[in-house]
């Protein structure tokens, strides 16, 4: 009896120590989880390339990964060659015209009721702070070079050695549970791997609609703003807010009507995206209800900020499959193992 009590105390102490250690290295664990998640997302593409053959030659898993990396690099390079020159020109024009446009905005505000109480230096200070905050957010993300390289290396290793890591994880569970767990996690892998497709569609839609709308409204630097809006949309909630703030600020340099038009566009688009596009696209790709997508985004953003919001939907898809298998009560005939 005393031995059992001592064992329970030691076990509870070990669990407490492990939880404390996990909390202390939570950033590292989050990085590992994100790498494993993206390895699962890219996995079907690697498997597809391995199935291709030239004569009797089949590409190895390493060659397949290298091919995907080179393909992505070539696509990004081609896009940069076409998009970079006009975007750089827009940014240079914006920097050169900023003082003049700031003065024009101040003159318009000064002519409004109560506008005479606003000081130009205060306006410039707040404007600089707001724009700097928007760019600072993404500069901070882009500046995490070490974190990005670590994530990329971990992702490649998970792709190359994922099967061994998967089997090692299963070895912690009793033998008679492993087949069911393997089948469940394989179903989850199929659902999670489709998330990137859905996110890419959402990014392309916002970028295209933004660029076209800004062009129709005759907002300066419409192409650069559209590209920024599309790229920023990979980060739910925060990305659209940042791109909207930047677009409204630039439109306000020309006229209040253009700024109002940009605000109206973003309000309408976000309503359509949040209420229709995101739930529908994510449901068709990761098969999640609309309410689950919205709740997942809110919880992910609260727990881990931008990274949490980014991986919220695929994580919800993973948890959804596990909950469906182990917590939903059904008859033996309805079990996924029998389908």
Task: Give the pLDDT of residue 84.
Answer: 67
For residue 296 the two structure tokens come to 């997942």
Domain borders along the chain are 87-135+177-338
- Locate tokens 């410039």: which residue? 124
Distance CA 267, CA 244 (A): 9
DSSP character at residue 52: -
Task: Give the pLDDT of residue 90.
Answer: 63
For residue 86 the two structure tokens come to 């006009």
Distance CA 156, CA 287 (A): 27
DSSP 241-276: HHHHHHHHHHHHHH-HHHHHHHHHHHHHHHHHIIII
Task: Give the pLDDT of residue 98.
Answer: 61
Mean pLDDT per 10-residue section of the chain, whose length is 339 residues: 68 83 83 83 77 73 80 78 68 64 60 54 51 46 61 81 80 82 82 77 88 89 84 75 85 83 90 77 70 78 77 83 77 52
Say if residues 72 and 81 touch (Cβ distance below 8 Å). Answer: no
Task: Give the pLDDT of residue 209.
Answer: 92
Task: Give the pLDDT of residue 141.
Answer: 47
Q: How far apart are the first and last CA of the chain?
A: 47
Distance CA 337, CA 213 (A): 49
Task: Give the pLDDT of residue 264.
Answer: 93
DSSP 186-232: HHHHHHHTTHHHHHHHHHHHHHHHHHHHHHHTT-TTHHHHHHHHHHH
Task: Give the pLDDT of residue 1.
Answer: 55
Task: Give the pLDDT of residue 245.
Answer: 86
Task: Give the pLDDT of residue 125.
Answer: 52
- For residue 54, give the 3-state DSSP assignment: strand
Task: Give the pLDDT of residue 265.
Answer: 92
Say if residues 315 and 296 touch (Cβ distance below 8 Å). Answer: yes
Task: Give the pLDDT of residue 108.
Answer: 61
């Amino acid at each position: 009896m005393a031995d059992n009590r001592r064992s329970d105390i030691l076990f509870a102490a070990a669990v407490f120590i492990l939880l404390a250690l996990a909390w202390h290295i939570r950033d590292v664990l989050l990085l590992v989880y994100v790498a494993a998640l993206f390895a699962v997302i890219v996995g079907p593409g690697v498997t597809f390339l391995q199935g291709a053959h030239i004569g009797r030659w089949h590409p190895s898993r390493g060659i397949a990964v290298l091919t995907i990396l080179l393909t992505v690099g070539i696509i990004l390079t081609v896009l940069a060659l076409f998009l970079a020159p006009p975007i750089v020109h827009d940014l240079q024009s914006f920097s050169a015209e900023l003082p003049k446009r700031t003065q024009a905005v101040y003159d318009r505000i000064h002519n409004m009721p109560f506008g005479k109480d606003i000081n130009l230096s205060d306006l410039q200070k707040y404007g600089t702070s707001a724009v700097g905050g928007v760019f600072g957010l993404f500069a901070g993300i882009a500046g995490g070079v070490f974190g990005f390289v670590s994530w990329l290396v971990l992702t490649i290793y998970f792709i190359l050695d994922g099967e061994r890591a998967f089997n090692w994880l299963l070895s912690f569970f009793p033998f008679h549970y492993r087949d069911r767990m393997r089948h469940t996690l394989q179903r989850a892998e199929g659902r999670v791997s489709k998330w990137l497709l859905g996110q890419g569609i959402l990014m392309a839609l916002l970028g295209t609609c933004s660029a076209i709308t800004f062009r129709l409204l005759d907002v300066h630097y419409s192409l650069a703003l559209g590209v920024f809006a599309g790229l920023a949309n990979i980060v739910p909630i925060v990305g659209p807010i940042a791109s909207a703030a930047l677009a409204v600020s630039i439109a306000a340099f020309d006229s209040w009507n253009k700024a109002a038009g940009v605000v109206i566009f973003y309000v309408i688009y976000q309503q359509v995206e949040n209420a229709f596009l995101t739930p529908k696209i994510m449901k068709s790709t990761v098969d999640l209800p609309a309410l689950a997508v919205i709740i997942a985004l809110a919880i992910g953003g609260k727990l881990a900020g931008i990274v949490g919001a980014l991986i919220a939907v695929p994580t919800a898809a993973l948890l959804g499959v596990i909950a469906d298998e182990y917590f939903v009560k059904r008859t033996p005939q309805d079990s996924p193992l029998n389908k």
